[in-house]
Amino acid sequence: MGIPLNIGVVGLGYWGPNLARNFHTLPDSKLTAICDLDKKRIEHVHSLYPGAKGTVEFKELLDQPELDALAISTAVPAHYPLAKAGLLAGKHVLIEKPLASSSDECEDLIRIATEKNLVLMVGHTFLYSPEIRKIKEIVDSGEIGDIRYISARRLNLGLFQEDINVTWDLAPHDISIILHIMGKLPEVVNCQGSAHITPGIEDVTALSLNFKNEQSALIHSSWLDPRKVREMTIVGSKKMILFDDVAPQEKIKIFDARVDPPAHYDSFAEFHYAYHHGDMSVPYVKPEEPLRNECQHFIDCIVEGKTPLTSGADGAGVVSILEAASESLLHNGAPVDYSDRWKQPAQHAPKFDAIQGSSPRVNRLRKKFATGS
């Protein structure tokens, strides 16, 4: 094994400790730094990983030349300034969803990462789950036919946020999955919601994405439901897929069910729908931790010079849809034309000979991958 990449995790609240655990256990990375404004959180994580130096000063991480990359898991408004500072300091950056608070901030991060040939990646974790990989495989194979619509429900009681509404908090997961499966951006976005607990911050929303060819997606997000629900239904012209991420087993079920309109009819009396009800099947999916796959992918992209599956450009596309949803909310759910709103800029894979701020450790890892030694 070569010398591992040195990783720093910024933000040790809800999700940061999970990032720290994975970067600590992966063989090609080493958790060397942790940062949070809460000293107690630093002390707790440091007790689990004594080799990681803790600090409340983010600048201390930027001043460490041996630190190769940062994983940022803070409140959303801090994503942009922290990521920008990290990129300017020559660090590769992984940011938890959403990438930033606006499209302008996303574009600036993409520009800096491209100019400095650094990896910028967003944590759309579900795209690294074996279940979503399997669903994408099934859809691409044509087994379910043409997608007619997708519906998603992401519900639970809390966790209430103070700086973003429930769409910005929960819907990025479903938006990223839907865009990945559909392989295209919507033409129209509209969103309705209500703020029951905190004035001005919607805790229940219904987001609609409309695509070409009468395809659509519906996303129901809520912090005010009595039970945790993580479901997505993909309705095709031949079959239908149900994905239940909360289910302990058999998370994916394929239903051989469809509705066919009659090919020809001369009167309403002759108009009869053909309902097909076939078997239900459950494809085998080997269990894997999506976050571990995500963290390993981040490392691989740095070492091998690959563009991430969830690149900065992909993250910016999701943020742009969230902005359109916010605009629709402000206008009581009015549809927002999205067709010319967002053209994703290309985020090129870094070039090994031009990466700024890379260390001998990175180069030795590259040599290891190239030679297979």
Predicted confidence (pLDDT) per residue in 41-59, tens digit? 999 999 999 999 999 999 9
Q: Is 350 helix (H, G, I), strand (E, B) or coil?
A: coil
Q: In this structure, are 136 and 259 located in the same domain? A: yes
- Label residue 346 by pLDDT band (50, 70, 90): low
Q: Could you give the C-alpha distances from 28 to 45, 182, 253, 273, 361, in angstroms and in order?
A: 20, 33, 35, 57, 11
At residue 156, the pLDDT reads 96
Q: In this structure, are 227 and 146 located in the same domain? A: yes
Beta pairing class for 69-72 and 92-96? parallel
**In-domain check, residue 49:** yes
At residue 352, the pLDDT reads 46
Angle between helices 39-48 and 16-25 (to 10 degrees): 30
Q: In this structure, are 154 and 121 located in the same domain? A: no
Domain range holding 102?
5-125+290-309+347-371
Q: Is 155 helix (H, G, I), strand (E, B) or coil?
A: strand
Strand partners of residue 94:
71, 121
Percent of residues in the chain assigned helix, strand, coil, to nearest 5: 35, 25, 35
Q: In this structure, are 170 and 264 located in the same domain? A: yes
At residue 166, the pLDDT reads 97
At residue 273, the pLDDT reads 67
Q: In this structure, are 135 and 237 located in the same domain? A: yes
Q: In this structure, are 62 and 157 located in the same domain? A: no
pTM given for the model: 0.88
CATH of residue 270: 3.30.360.10
Cα–Cα distance between 182 and 208 in angstroms, integer? 14
Residues 229 and 151: beta-carbon distance below 8 Å: no
More confident residue, 364 or 288: 288
More confident residue, 278 or 214: 214
Residues 325 and 87: beta-carbon distance below 8 Å: no
At residue 262, the pLDDT reads 66
Q: What is the mean pLDDT of residues 243-253?
A: 96
The helix (H) or strand (E) run that includes residue 131 is helix 130-141
Structural domains of the chain, count? 2
Q: What is the mean pLDDT of residues 195-218?
A: 96
At residue 366, the pLDDT reads 52
More confident residue, 4 or 276: 4
Which structure tokens are listed for 230?
Answer: 């993580």
Per-residue exposure over 238-274, b if at least 16 CB sit within 10 Å of its own CB, e if not: ebbbbbbbeeeeebbbbbebbeeeeeeeeeeeeeeee
Q: Could you give the C-alpha distances from 268 to 265, 271, 272, in angstroms and in order?
A: 8, 5, 8
- Label residue 71 by pLDDT band (50, 70, 90): very high
At residue 236, the pLDDT reads 96
**In-domain check, residue 56:** yes
Q: What is the mean pLDDT of residues 201-210?
A: 97
The length of the chain, given as a count of residues: 373
Q: In this structure, are 65 and 86 located in the same domain? A: yes
**In-domain check, residue 323:** no
Give the dihedral sign, CA 254/259/264/270: positive
Is the pLDDT reported for residue 244 higher than 90?
A: yes
More confident residue, 32 or 349: 32
Q: In this structure, are 270 and 141 located in the same domain? A: yes
Cα–Cα distance between 288 and 285 in angstroms, integer? 9
Q: What is the DSSP string of 11-31?
A: --SSSHHHHHHHHHHSTTEEE
At residue 363, the pLDDT reads 57
Which structure tokens are listed for 200?
Answer: 């001005």
Is the pLDDT reported for residue 1 higher than 60?
A: no
**In-domain check, residue 320:** no
φ and ψ of 324, to 5 deg: -65, -35
H helices then E strands: how many in the chain?
Answer: 10, 15
At residue 227, the pLDDT reads 95
| Averaged confidence pLDDT in the chain | 90
At residue 372, the pLDDT reads 45
ω into 159 cis (within 30 of 0): yes
Is the pLDDT reported for residue 272 higher than 90?
A: no
Angle at 183 between CA 188 and CA 143, to 5 degrees: 115
- Label residue 68 by pLDDT band (50, 70, 90): very high
Q: In this structure, are 26 and 118 located in the same domain? A: yes
Is the pLDDT reported for residue 283 higher than 80?
A: yes
Q: In this structure, are 188 and 107 located in the same domain? A: no
Cα–Cα distance between 180 and 10 in angstroms, integer? 28
**In-domain check, residue 12:** yes
CATH of residue 94: 3.40.50.720
- Label residue 348 by pLDDT band (50, 70, 90): low
% of the chain beyond a pLDDT of 90: 82
Q: Where is the domain boundary, 261, 281, 301?
A: 281
